[in-house]
Structure 1
Amino acid sequence: MTDKLLRPIEIGLTAAIVAVDTNEPVVLTAAPSDGDRLAGLPFGPFDAVSHRTFEIGLRAWVQEQSGLTLGYVEQLYTFGDRGRHARAGDTDAHMVSVGYLALTRIADTAGQPHVAGAAFEPWYRYFPWEDWRTTRPEIIEKQILPALNEWAAQPEAPNTARALARADRVRFYFGSDGAQWDEERVLDRYELLYEAGLIEEARRDGRPAALSRGAMPQLGVAMRFDHRRILATAIARLRAKLKYRPVVFELLSPEFTLTELQHTVEAISGRHLHKQNFRRLVESGALVESTGEMSTRTGGRPAALFRFRREVLQERPAPGLRVRGRR
C-alpha cells in the first residue's frame, strides 16, 4: 500500500450560524487565518475523545470560541471534495467537514461574538442576486444573465451527462424567459455560476472556465475554501424549512409583533410578502397567540405582541409558513 493511500483524513465541523439583525439576515464569519485573505465560516475540529456526537462538539467549540449559545442546530451535508482545503504541494491530512445550519438571536449574542476578527455579516453580501425584497436584483440582468447566456451557447463536453442543458438550467435557476424564480434554488444558482467560471472560487480552484476568462465579474464576496457553497446550502435549507417547520421563531424574540414576524420571514426568503395575505396565513395556521400586551418599540402606533404557540407542534406534523411572494 502506497503512502498516497495512507494519507489521513481529519473531520472538522463548519457552522453557518444565522441570525436576523434589524430585518437583515446575517451570518457569523471568522477572521482570515493562515495567510488567507478571505473570511469564512467558523470552523473547528471534532474531538472524538471529548465529544460524544458531532452536534455536542459543534455546540462546545462555538460556545468556547465565540461565546454564542446556539438554539436550533441541523446537520446539512458532508463536504469532502478533493482539493477543498488543499494547497499546491500539501501533504497534510485531507479535511472532511460536516456542515451545520445553526440559528441564534442577536439579543442572545449581546450584539457581537466574543472572538477577535469574528463578526456577523449580511448574507446578501455573498449572494446579492438572492435578495428580491424590493425588486428583481439588477445584477441578474446586467452581469449574470449575459455571462451565463454566453457560456450556455458554447458546446458542452461530449461526456457531460445532465438532465438539463445549460440554457435550460440558466432559465430555470435564474427565472429568465418567463420561468418562475424559486427562492430555494440557492445552491443550484451558486454551483451554476461556479461551473461557468463566474465567481472567484472557481478561479482559485483552477476551473478551466474561470481561467479562460479575462476580468472576473464581481458577483458577491468570495469566502475561503468552499465556505460560500456551505452557506448556500444553509440558506436553501432554511428557506425550505420555513414552509414546514416553525424555525423562524428561533430567530425572533420570545414576544414579537406580526410586522416583526413578517420582516423576518421576508429577510430569510428574500421575498416581499403582501401584508394582509401574510397575516391571514399566520392566523389560519394558528402558529401564534396574543400575549395581551402592546409594544411601542417601533416608534409608531402601539402594536399587539404575540408569541409562538407551541401546542401547534402536537396538533399537526408540518406547522410552517407556506408563503408566496408577490412575483
Structure 2
Amino acid sequence: MSLSFSHAHSEGSGTTEVVAVLIAITHGRARVLTVDGGKLLPNGPLMPLHRSLQAGVRQWVEEQTKQPLGYIEQLYTFVDTNRRNKDGHALVYVSYMGLVQEAAIPEAMVEGDKDKKSDPESASGAVSTKSSARWRDWYDYFPWENRLQTEASSNQITEKLKQWAEAASSKSERLKRLQRIYLCWGGDWEQDSDFEQIVASGDGHSSSAKEMFTKWVAEHALLRYEMLYEAGLLPESPDYNASKLPKNWHQVIGEPMYYDHRRVIATAISRLRAKIEYRPLIFGLMPEEFTLLQLQQSVEALSGVPLHKQNFRRLLESQNLVEPTGNSSQTGRGRPAKLYRFRFDIGLQSLLMDSKLPKSNPR
C-alpha cells in the first residue's frame, strides 16, 4: 500500500511507538539511517515483551537495519493525531537519538523486495523489515540548514514566509510572524520596511535586537521546520499546495517523509547542535584516530556553518581535549597530517561540565 504524508495508521490495539534517529559522520558528511527507501526512520510499536522504551528501540533498529547501537538518549514524545488505533486513540511515539559509526547494511536489507511494492506496515503496525534500509545525508531532508553552500534556497524560503506573514488575519499577527522569521532565519533585513518597527518593539536595546534578528542560529533547526510546516510550505503540512509554489520547490524544501518523521530528525538536529557547544559528543562520531581537519569538517557537517580554522584549533588546544597518537595520514601531495585521538584520561565529570567545542562562525 502506498502512503500519503499524513496517512492514517493501520488500526491496531497499540497506542505507543518508538522512533530512532541514528546519526553518523561519514567522509565529513552528516548522515541519518532510514528505512522504506528513505521515507521513514527505524520505528515500531512498544510491545509487552519490551522491558523498557530503550529495549524497544534497540530491537526495532536491530531488526530493521542491523546497525549496532552505542550512545542513545531520549528526545521528545509526539502525538500523531492523523494516526489512530482501532479504539480511536491517537498514536503516541517516543523518539530517540543515537550517535553511531556508520555500519554496512546487509545487501538484502538495502535491496528489499524490488519486484513488489513495499508494505510500510505489518498487521501489528510495525514497519516491514523488507523495507530497504539506507544511510542518507540529513541535508537531503533539510537543504536550507546547510550554510556551507549557497544560501539561495534560504532566500527563496524567506520570500515565501514573508508572503505567509502578509496573509495574516490581523496586523498584530502579521508582526508576530515577521518577528519569528527574523529570529529564525537571520540575514540582512535592512531593506524590509517592517524591520525597524520590529526592532523598536523589542526591549529598547536596538543594537542587540538587530544582532539577534540578523544572526543565523544553527540550533533553531526545529523552529525553522515548525514554521515551514505552519506556513504550508512542506508536503507533510495539511495546508501544502504545490500548484502555488515554484517548480523547483521540491529541491528547495528537501525530501519529505511519512508521518512526522522529518520533524523528529529536526528535533535531533537541534538537540545535537546545541549539545556539541558544551559537551564533546562529536567524539562519539569520530573514528579512533583522526586529523584535526577531519574533526573540524565533522563539526561543520553537524552545524551546517563554517568554522574559523585557527580559532577552532586554539580552542581545542586550550580545552586539552585531544592528543597526538604519533601516527600520520597521507591524503594528498602535501605533508602528512598528524593523527589525534580523544583524551580519555580527563575526568569524565569535568569533561562533560566544562569542555565545549568551538561555536559556529556567524555569517
* TM-score band w.r.t. shorter chain: 0.7 to 0.9
Q: Do the aligned partners of 1:244 and 1:318 also contact (CA within 8 Å) in 2?
A: yes
Residue in structure 2 matched with residue 35 of structure 1 by the alignment: none
Q: CA deviation at 1:96?
A: 1.1
Per mean C-alpha deviation after superposition, the further-off stretch among 307-316 and 253-262 is 307-316
- Per the alignment, in what secondary structure is the counterpart of residue 284 of structure 1? helix
- Per the alignment, in what secondary structure is the counterpart of residue 201 of structure 1? coil
- Alignment partners' CA distance in 2, 1:112 and 1:273: 36
Letter in 2 for 1:130: E
Flag structure 2 segments of 5+ consecutive residues without an equivalent: 1-11, 113-131, 190-209
TM-score (norm 1): 0.84
Q: CA deviation at 1:299?
A: 6.1
Selected match of 2:356 from 291, 301, 320: 320
Asked whether 1:131 is paired with 2:130, we answer no
Letter in 2 for 1:238: L
- Per the alignment, in what secondary structure is the counterpart of residue 244 of structure 1? coil
Residue in structure 1 matched with residue 230 of structure 2 by the alignment: 195
Letter in 2 for 1:110: A
Q: Do the aligned partners of 2:64 and 2:133 also contact (CA within 8 Å) in 1?
A: no
Residue in structure 2 matched with residue 72 of structure 1 by the alignment: 71
TM-aligned CA distance change 1:155 to 1:280, over 3 Å: same
Asked whether 1:248 is paired with 2:262, we answer no
- Alignment partners' CA distance in 2, 1:112 and 1:285: 40
Asked whether 1:291 is paired with 2:325, we answer yes
Per mean C-alpha deviation after superposition, the further-off stretch among 176-185 and 111-120 is 111-120
Letter in 1 for 2:100: T
Letter in 2 for 1:97: Y
Per mean C-alpha deviation after superposition, the further-off stretch among 109-118 and 56-65 is 109-118
Q: CA deviation at 1:214?
A: 2.8
- Per the alignment, in what secondary structure is the counterpart of residue 36 of structure 2? coil
Q: CA deviation at 1:91?
A: 6.2
- Superposition map of 1:138-287 within 5 A: 138-141=152-155, 143-156=156-169, 165-176=176-187, 177=189, 179-202=214-237, 206-207=238-239, 210=240, 214-215=244-245, 217-218=249-250, 219-287=253-321
TM-aligned CA distance change 1:113 to 1:104, over 3 Å: farther
Q: CA deviation at 1:10?
A: 1.8
TM-aligned CA distance change 1:211 to 1:324, over 3 Å: closer
1:210-234 superposed Cα distances (whole Å, 9 cap, x missing partner):
3596347321111000001000000
- Alignment partners' CA distance in 1, 2:325 and 2:262: 40
1:137-195 superposed Cα distances (whole Å, 9 cap, x missing partner):
21111x211111111112336997x9x70000011111031610000000100110111
- Alignment partners' CA distance in 1, 2:181 and 2:318: 37
1:112-140 superposed Cα distances (whole Å, 9 cap, x missing partner):
686231111111111111001244x2111
- Per the alignment, in what secondary structure is the counterpart of residue 277 of structure 2? coil
Residue in structure 1 matched with residue 44 of structure 2 by the alignment: 44
Alpha-carbon RMSD across the aligned residues, in angstroms, is 2.7
Q: Do the aligned partners of 2:67 and 2:105 also contact (CA within 8 Å) in 1?
A: no
TM-aligned CA distance change 1:42 to 1:220, over 3 Å: same
Asked whether 1:95 is paired with 2:91, we answer yes
Q: Do the aligned partners of 1:112 and 1:119 also contact (CA within 8 Å) in 2?
A: no
Selected match of 1:14 from 12, 19, 27: 19
TM-aligned CA distance change 1:113 to 1:46, over 3 Å: farther
Q: Do the aligned partners of 1:248 and 1:265 also contact (CA within 8 Å) in 2?
A: yes
Q: Do the aligned partners of 2:99 and 2:284 also contact (CA within 8 Å) in 1?
A: yes
- Alignment partners' CA distance in 2, 1:74 and 1:245: 14
The alignment of Structure 1 onto Structure 2 pairs a total of residues equal to 301
Q: CA deviation at 1:101?
A: 0.8
1:81-111 superposed Cα distances (whole Å, 9 cap, x missing partner):
412x359xx76653211011111112xx036
Q: Do the aligned partners of 1:112 and 1:120 also contact (CA within 8 Å) in 2?
A: no
- Alignment partners' CA distance in 1, 2:31 and 2:301: 10
The structure with the largest helix share of the pair is 2
Q: Do the aligned partners of 2:65 and 2:105 also contact (CA within 8 Å) in 1?
A: no
Flag structure 1 segments of 5+ consecutive residues without an equivalent: 1-6, 33-37
- Per the alignment, in what secondary structure is the counterpart of residue 236 of structure 2? helix
Q: Percent identity?
A: 41
